[in-house]
């Protein structure tokens, strides 16, 4: 049976992953409405990945004899001033997710829950990839600046880029 403190922490993580999915969905929709179809595809995929991260946690909590709570979600921010804002917001959000995952890992160690600790390692590795990807995208945007041709190629390339599963 799962420790109740760990169960609460995992349920908070479920909510955070659900909010990530919702947030990236709003970003994808903004990009689609601004003719940035490659960026929209990337962000729609990213939103789906976050839902998968949430689902993985839901199933784990239930398998361990806990009760996964499916959260209510507020409408995310849906107006952005441009791609730079989108991706710096995304990076900031992912940095918070990393911090939250580290806190769950800390709690697992202090409660000696090595099973959940082991399960969470997937998320730890995932966050390294996600933060690196967001930083890489921001570097590209900084290089492009206001060059329209560069932006066209950036958007086209992003269509092929896979967010980390």
Contacting positions for ligand OFO (CB under 6 A): 17, 20, 50, 53, 94, 97, 123, 126, 130
Q: Phi, psi at residue 77, to the nearest 5°? A: -55, 135
**How many Å separate Cα 43 from the centre of its chain?**
10
Helical packing angle, 4-33 and 37-63, nearest 10°: 160
Residue of closest CB approach to ligand OFO:
53
Q: Which is nearer to ligand OFO, 109 or 132 (CB)?
A: 132
Minimal distance in Å, beta carbon 118 to ligand OFO? 16
Minimal distance in Å, beta carbon 120 to ligand OFO? 10
CB 159 within 8 A of CB 44: no
CB 31 within 8 A of CB 86: yes
Q: Which is nearer to ligand OFO, 92 or 147 (CB)?
A: 92
Minimal distance in Å, beta carbon 146 to ligand OFO? 29
82: alpha, beta or left? (left if phi > 0; alpha if psi -120 to 50) = left
Q: To the nearest 5 percent, what fractions of the chain are helix, strand and coil?
A: 80, 0, 20
Residue 162 per-residue DSSP state: P
Q: Which is nearer to ligand OFO, 2 or 97 (CB)?
A: 97
Q: Which is nearer to ligand OFO, 51 or 150 (CB)?
A: 51
Minimal distance in Å, beta carbon 122 to ligand OFO? 9
């Amino acid at each position: 049976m799962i420790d109740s403190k760990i169960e609460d922490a995992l349920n908070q993580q479920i909510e955070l992953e659900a909010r990530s999915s919702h947030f990236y969905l709003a970003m994808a929709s903004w990009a689609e409405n601004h003719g940035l179809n490659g960026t929209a595809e990337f962000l729609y995929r990213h939103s789906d990945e976050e839902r998968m991260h949430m689902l993985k946690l839901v199933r784990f909590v239930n398998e361990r004899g806990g009760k996964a709570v499916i959260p209510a979600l507020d409408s995310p921010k849906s107006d952005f001033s441009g791609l730079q804002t989108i991706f710096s917001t995304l990076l900031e959000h992912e940095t918070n997710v990393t911090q939250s995952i580290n806190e769950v890992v800390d709690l697992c160690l202090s409660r000696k829950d090595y099973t959940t600790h082991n399960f969470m390692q997937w998320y730890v590795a995932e966050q390294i990839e996600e933060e690196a990807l967001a930083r890489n995208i921001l570097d590209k945007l900084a290089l492009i600046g206001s060059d329209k041709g560069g932006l066209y190629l950036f958007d086209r390339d992003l269509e092929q880029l896979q967010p980390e599963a």
